[in-house]
């Protein structure tokens, strides 16, 4: 597989037009080489790079871009430097994969059993569906069980939950929009203190389950989509990448 073929495949799975204007999805590092093995991980880290080299992969597809803004300097300890030195091509499917059919938010909606999920209003930033009426605390227990977590953060507005919005990663800033769309609960990865207070004032409950925890389950879906689109290439899910935070 060449880099241009990989870009074309990623664009079919998660169209780059879905990416936010501030995002940097696409090709991050062009090694100029072709390859038949690709490693998939949420982030480009030293462990991921070493795993890719050890496994004979010529490219890495990450969810989060290794480069977001302009680079003014690179250190020998930076993952970007290490990836270039290792001869790896690196790609990112970030907010475009959040929004894509079968992407981050669809996977999260499916895991939580949302019925008839639809796009969040006029945008693709999240998915909205329904659950059997329950309390926010009951939904928190469901999230813990499905994502295999010891705990989550819950801001409980004290109302029954039926209409639920899921936004993988950092979705707390959408609290106002989610409330306006008539939802009872927002399930996301991260939510700032001020956004949680706003949500509660609007009668919206929020479950914050962790950025890594709400996005990483979709990496296996990305692997399957890539494998179906390029059956002659081997796509491997990283076994070395883990959440940066430990829950102790």
Q: How far apart are CA 17 and CA 109, in angstroms?
A: 22
Structure confidence at residue 65 (pLDDT): 96
Sheet holding 37-41, edge to edge: 26-29, 89-92, 59-62, 37-41, 234-237
Structure confidence at residue 190 (pLDDT): 97
Fold match between domain 3-97+216-237 and domain 101-208:
yes
Structure confidence at residue 221 (pLDDT): 97
Structure confidence at residue 245 (pLDDT): 86
Q: How far apart are CA 240 and CA 116, in angstroms?
A: 35
Q: At what angle do helices 104-111 and 218-229 cross, to 10 degrees?
A: 120
Strand pairing partners for 141? none
Structure confidence at residue 187 (pLDDT): 98
Structure confidence at residue 133 (pLDDT): 98
CATH topology classification for 3-97+216-237 = 3.40.1390
Structure confidence at residue 243 (pLDDT): 87
Delimit the domains of the chain by residue range.
3-97+216-237, 101-208
Structure confidence at residue 201 (pLDDT): 98
pLDDT in tens, 111-139: 999 999 999 977 788 999 999 999 999 99
Q: What CATH number matches the domain at 101-208, 3.40.50.2300, 3.40.1390.30, 1.20.210.10, 3.30.1490.20? A: 3.40.1390.30
Sheet holding 205-208, edge to edge: 115-119, 127-134, 161-170, 185-190, 205-208, 153-155
63 and 215 Cβ atoms separated by less than 8 Å: yes
Low-confidence spans in the chain with pLDDT less than 70: none
Structure confidence at residue 127 (pLDDT): 97
Structure confidence at residue 69 (pLDDT): 80
Structure confidence at residue 101 (pLDDT): 96
Structure confidence at residue 234 (pLDDT): 98
- Provide the token pair at 118: 């639809």
């Amino acid at each position: 597989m060449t880099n241009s073929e990989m870009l074309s495949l990623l664009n079919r799975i998660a169209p780059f037009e879905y990416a936010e204007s501030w995002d940097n999805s696409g090709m991050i590092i062009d090694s100029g080489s072709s390859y038949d093995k690709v490693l998939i991980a949420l982030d480009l880290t030293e462990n991921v790079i070493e795993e890719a080299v050890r496994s004979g992969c010529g490219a890495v597809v990450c969810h989060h871009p290794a480069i977001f803004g302009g680079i003014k300097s690179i250190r020998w300890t930076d993952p970007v430097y290490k990836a270039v030195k290792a001869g790896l091509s690196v790609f990112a499917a970030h907010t475009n994969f959040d929004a894509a059919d079968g992407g981050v938010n669809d996977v999260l909606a499916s895991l939580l059993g949302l019925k008839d999920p639809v796009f969040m209003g006029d945008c693709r930033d999240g998915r909205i569906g329904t659950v059997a009426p329950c309390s926010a605390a009951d939904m928190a227990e469901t999230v813990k069980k499905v994502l295999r977590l010891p705990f989550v953060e819950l801001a409980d507005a004290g109302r029954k939950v039926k209409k639920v919005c899921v936004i993988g990663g950092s979705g707390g800033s959408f609290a106002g929009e989610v409330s306006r769309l008539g939802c009872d609960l927002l399930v996301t990865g991260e939510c700032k203190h001020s956004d949680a207070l706003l949500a509660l004032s609007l009668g919206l409950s929020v479950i914050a389950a962790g950025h890594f925890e709400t996005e990483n389950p979709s990496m296996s879906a990305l692997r399957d989509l890539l494998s179906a689109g390029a059956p002659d290439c081997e796509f491997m899910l990283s076994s070395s990448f883990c959440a940066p935070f430990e829950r102790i």
